[in-house]
Amino acid sequence: MKLQEYQSKHIFARYGILIPRGRVAATGIEAKNIAEELGGRVVIKSQVLVGGRGKAGGIRLAKSPREAEEVATSVLRMQIKGLPVRKVLVDEAANIEKELYLGITYDRSAHKPVMMASSAGGVDIEEIAHQSPEKIARTYIDPLLGLRDYQARDIAVTIDLPRPFWRSFIETAHGLWRVYSESDATLAEINPLVITTDSRLMALDGKIVLDDNALFRQPDLAEMRDQDSEASAEREALKFGLSYIKLEGKIGCMVNGAGLAMATMDIIHLYGGEPANFLDIGGGAGADKVAAAFRIILSDPNVNSVLINIFGGITRCDEVARGILAAMDDVKTEIPMVVRLVGTNAEEGLRLLSEANMITEETLAEAAQKAVAVAQGASS
Amino acid sequence: MSILVNKHTRVLVQGITGHEGLFHTQQMLAYNTNVVGGVTPGKGGEWVLDGKVPVFDSMKLAVEATGANTSVIFVPARFATDAMFEAADVGIPLVVCITEGIPVQDMLLVTNYLKLKNVRLIGPNCPGLLTPGESKVGIIPGNIALHGNIGVVSRSGTLTYEVLYAMKEVGLGASTCIGIGGDPVIGTNFIDVLEMFEADPRTDKVVMIGEIGGTDEERAAEFIASSMTKPVVSFIAGQTAPQGKRMGHAGAIIERGSGSAAEKVRALQSAGVRVASHPEEIPDLLV
């Protein structure tokens, strides 16, 4: 789960990281009032959870409260990469001497959080990593020890930070470490971290990504979820314990297990079709769960055939077949379904389904080819 | 022979009285796995499954009474971290965590701590291990695999079952099958398992089933090229997965420009690994 810039910076401030004075506005008038309080020159920043806000015209300078009102009004009418701008952050404009980057994420292979910094801030860190990796300083943090002073100092030295800023840099680094660890973040990033013309270190922009699996113990942060950034079908699926992701193709997929669901999408592609979705129905495929999965798959108007691929291990295939038949009674549809069951009692399961006039196949390759053929027949 | 688990494995089930724990304990017993006891705090002294399996209040008491050498964890995500620490602190050398949904930062602590204690962790978010005909520690259906000479290692669950079943259909069996888990931070990675299969005299070939996310497959490819004499065949799931989306498994995500299936396939092929274009093709590559 991603947090908005204003939410991220609000959390930074709680951990002693300096941020610009500013507040969030939902209307032009509110933006004007905030600009007046701040004393004039402000930056109006759209709050949407996508990258490239600046390039899209979603971050703009306003030199007076009146201009702030105009700019905010127009930014609040924007859509950036399909997401509506519902709020703008009105920040006092900073006088920037230099832009840096400071972030913490974790390294999957090293099993450690890693702090990264660069003297080339303000741009996409992935671009820096790609084009000039030598400009990024990294230090692994032992999760059992936490960040140590010397590590932050080493980073300051590596990025050639002038000595007078070391102390505040180390404090900022510790603040960010606490943000990262105490928020259960998977990414906490200040970009840019600026040196102002009056010699302060300040977080001008920030991003926090939270670990969805830890939200149960972060109730305050969980409430900050932005509904716009998630497709409604994906949210609906979660309620039924289904993992669903919409894709662009025409062949709906219903599969048990994440790896097998990906493999099913891949084989559809291999035989010349395109999957309409990823859907993992999880363990045990009872009729109500199957019916919910059907409804979600069929809510996508592009879908013109469905491939059901179930491996019966401990859940027997005949039970799965009965679940599918019961769900079909519930969700009445004309869309053709191709079913492939394999594993325990597969023969019995396939017999039940073919008696009910469903298209059944024994192998995944055959089932995928059939689903592709059916989908092409339907669209021609 | 086999790796990690065999008929001498003495298993404790953490979370044995829960719905999943009880069901799979029954399945493990049906496979003749030597389940010597279980732990559920507050239920010590009870016996479950027709009085066959004793329940203890803590891992300490359970290990003292049973001499167990392996634990399998079925407790819910918010308690699983503690369960892993408890198993490690009582000196269990092999911990298998089935639980899905454990916070990443907990896993960073657990993996670093368990390494200090020399404890081997399999998982989390994994189906566990199966040495066909000898022992099943976890949830891999026992009836879908034959005993044989092929080592199987995978980040996935049902996709692995597919492959075991497809192998069985043509008479191929597994020496040991290990699901290492679909999370981004896991205790045992591909290289760890490949090393064990390379050293195991009863394993002649290896099947490695990977998926998008991270660079574990790329590292494995380097290891295969430099240190393995046994042939490895592979399948990588997620060729058609979009960037930046978690495909069911917490660890299955292409992010920050790395983790795509194409990169993994390229790395494996250049290490001499034959990569199947779909899972049913794997048995063909093994004969």
Question: How far, in Å, CA of A309 to CA of A307, rounded?
Answer: 6
CB A92 within 8 A of CB A20: yes
Two structure tokens written together for B151? 């080592």
| Distance between B212 CA and the closest CA of chain A, angstroms | 9
Sign of CA dihedral B31, B37, B38, B44: positive
Question: In the predicted model, is pLDDT for residue A380 greater than 60?
Answer: no
B104 touches chain A (CB under 8 A): yes
CA distance B36 to B191: 31
The alpha carbon dihedral of A127, A133, A137, A141 has a sign of positive
Helix (H, G, I), strand (E, B) or coil at A182: helix
**Cross-sheet strand order for the sheet of B53-56:** B47-48, B53-56, B35-39, B11-14, B70-73, B94-97, B120-122
> Is the model's pLDDT at A30 over the cut of 60?
yes
Per-residue confidence at A379, pLDDT binned at 50, 70, 90?
low
> pLDDT band at residue A123, thresholds of 50, 70 and 90?
confident
The predicted model gives A348-354 an average pLDDT of: 90
Mean pLDDT (whole number) for B233-262: 89
Residues B206-212 have a mean pLDDT of 97
Q: Quick one: average pLDDT of A179-202?
A: 96
Q: Do B240 and A269 touch (CB under 8 A)?
A: yes
Confidence of residue A135 (pLDDT cuts 50, 70, 90): confident
Q: Which residue in B113, B121, B7, B114 sits closest to B73, CA to CA?
A: B121
Query: Which residues of chain A neighbour B141 with C-beta distances below 8 Å?
Result: 313-314, 343-344
Higher pLDDT, B256 or B176: B176
Mutate to test the interface with A, among B113, B183, B215, B240 (most CBs of A within 10 A): B240
Mean pLDDT of A40-54: 91
Nearest residue of chain B to residue A249 (CA atoms): B240
Contact residues on chain A for B115, CB-CB shorter than 8 A: 111
Chain A residues in contact with B159 (beta carbon < 8 A): 257, 259-260, 262-263
- Indicate the pLDDT class of residue A172, thresholds 50, 70 and 90: very high
The mean pLDDT of chain A is 91
Q: What is the pLDDT of residues A281-306, one digit of tens each?
A: 887 667 778 888 989 999 999 999 99
CB A118 within 8 A of CB A125: yes
User: Could you tell me if B162 lies within 8 Å of chain A, comparing CB atoms?
Assistant: yes
pLDDT tens-place string over residues A314-331: 778 888 888 888 888 888
User: Which residue matches tokens 């009445």?
Assistant: A332
* Mean pLDDT on A246-258: 94
Q: ipTM strictly over 0.90?
A: yes
Calculate what percentage of chain B has a pLDDT beyond 70: 99
Residue of B nearest to A217 (CA): B78
**Predicted confidence band of residue B264 (pLDDT cuts 50, 70, 90):** very high
Question: Which structure tokens are listed for A8?
Answer: 């991220």
Which residues, at least 6 apart from B137, have a Cβ–Cβ distance to it below 8 Å?
Answer: B5, B9, B11, B28, B33, B70, B72, B96, B128, B129, B130
Query: Long-range contact list for B87-90, CB < 8 A, 24+ apart?
Result: B87/B14, B87/B59, B87/B119, B88/B113, B88/B114, B88/B117, B88/B119, B89/B59, B89/B117, B90/B59, B90/B60, B90/B63
Contact pairs from chain A to chain B, CB under 8 Å = 175
Task: Quote the pLDDT of residue A247.
Answer: 94
Q: Show the tokens assigned to A288.
A: 């109500």
DSSP state, A111?
T
Region A113-123: mean pLDDT is 89
- Is B54 a residue whose pLDDT tops 80? yes
Alpha helices in chain B (DSSP H): 19-30, 59-66, 77-89, 104-116, 158-169, 190-199, 216-227, 261-270, 282-286
Query: What's the whole-model pTM score?
Result: 0.93
Residue B1 has pLDDT above 70, yes or no: no
The 3-state DSSP composition of chain A as helix, strand, coil percent (nearest 5) reads 40, 25, 30
B151 versus A134: the higher-pLDDT residue is: B151
Mean pLDDT of chain B: 95
Calculate ∠ Cα A366-A368-A374, nearest 5°: 100
* Chain A positions in Cβ-Cβ contact with residue B143 (cut-off 8 Å): 344
Is residue A127's pLDDT more than 70?
A: yes
Q: Is residue B179 a contact partner of residue B130, using CB atoms and an 8 Å limit?
A: no
